[in-house]
Amino acid sequence: MVAALDINEQALQPLADEVGCRTFTCDVTDTTSVEVTFETVAADLGGLDILISNAGSAQQGAIGDLPMDTLRQSFELNFFGHQNACQAAIRIFRRQGRGGTILFNISNQSVNPGKDFGPYGIPKAATLALMRQYAIDHGKEGIRANGVNAGRIRTGLMTDQMIIDRAAARGMTPHEYMAGNLLGVEVLASDVADAFLHLALMDKVNAAVLTVDGGVMATSLR
């Protein structure tokens, strides 16, 4: 059984219609909202086995000029949101006594920062460190922590208009921009979902990052 959580109720309905999951509104930047919702999910669904910590948004601005609030707000969601969700999950995993799996939606920005993308990439780099810390501190409890570093994916965060604008700024077509990787193909949200599924199933894989961007040497970890 799958539970989908989002701050935006309207974002949940299409998902519920498509995959038949249970939906819950939750603000991952609000510790009370997270604690209450996670306990409700565990009670309603009979427990918690896997957390995919996914919520994020992409703030931009030159790091030397941007308002401090932009950076702080991004950290609230792109770093502390993950920490809030993980702490709530750890409490439930411990109570259940059968380990658990935490998967982080990080970003290839965590290892390959883009110009004027500091407010997004810096908390993502911290979230990469957070994933490793969970693996170190909670592995002995049977809790695994892994992450996905995706590249450019067409979603609510990277809209069609944004793709057109960014491609034009680089003198590329939208297809060239989205398929700018070693395979020369656009990577889809469903490819990212597959990576999470495989990480969830591989029960000896821990503290790992799976890069899902069609192959880009600058983001390749090894």
Ligand X SMILES: NC(=O)c1ccc[n+]([C@@H]2O[C@H](COP(=O)([O-])OP(=O)(O)OC[C@H]3O[C@@H](n4cnc5c(N)ncnc54)[C@H](O)[C@@H]3O)[C@@H](O)[C@H]2O)c1
Write out the residues near ligand X by the rule CB under 6 A: 6-8, 11, 26-29, 54-57, 77, 81, 105, 107, 150, 152-153, 155-158
Instruction: Kindly state the smallest distance separating residue 11's Cβ from ligand X, in Å.
Output: 4
Distance in Å, CB of 101 to ligand X, minimum: 17
Comparing CB distances to ligand X, the nearer of 6 and 100 is 6
Report d(CA 57, CA 178) in Å as an integer.
19
In the complex, least distance from residue 137 CB atom to ligand X, rounded to whole angstroms:
22
How many other CB atoms are found less than 10 A from the CB of residue 30? Answer: 15
- Show Cβ contacts of residue 162 under 8 Å, excluding neighbours closer than 6 positions: none
Output 149 or 206, the one with its CB closest to ligand X: 149
CB of 119 to ligand X, least distance (A): 12
Q: Report the Cα–Cα distance between both ends of the chain, in Å, rounded.
A: 35
Residue 67 burial (CB count, 10 A)? 10
Nearer Cβ to ligand X (42/187): 187
Beta strands of the chain (E only): which ranges? 3-6, 22-25, 50-53, 100-105, 143-150, 209-212
User: Which C-beta is closer to ligand X: that of 41 or that of 55?
Assistant: 55
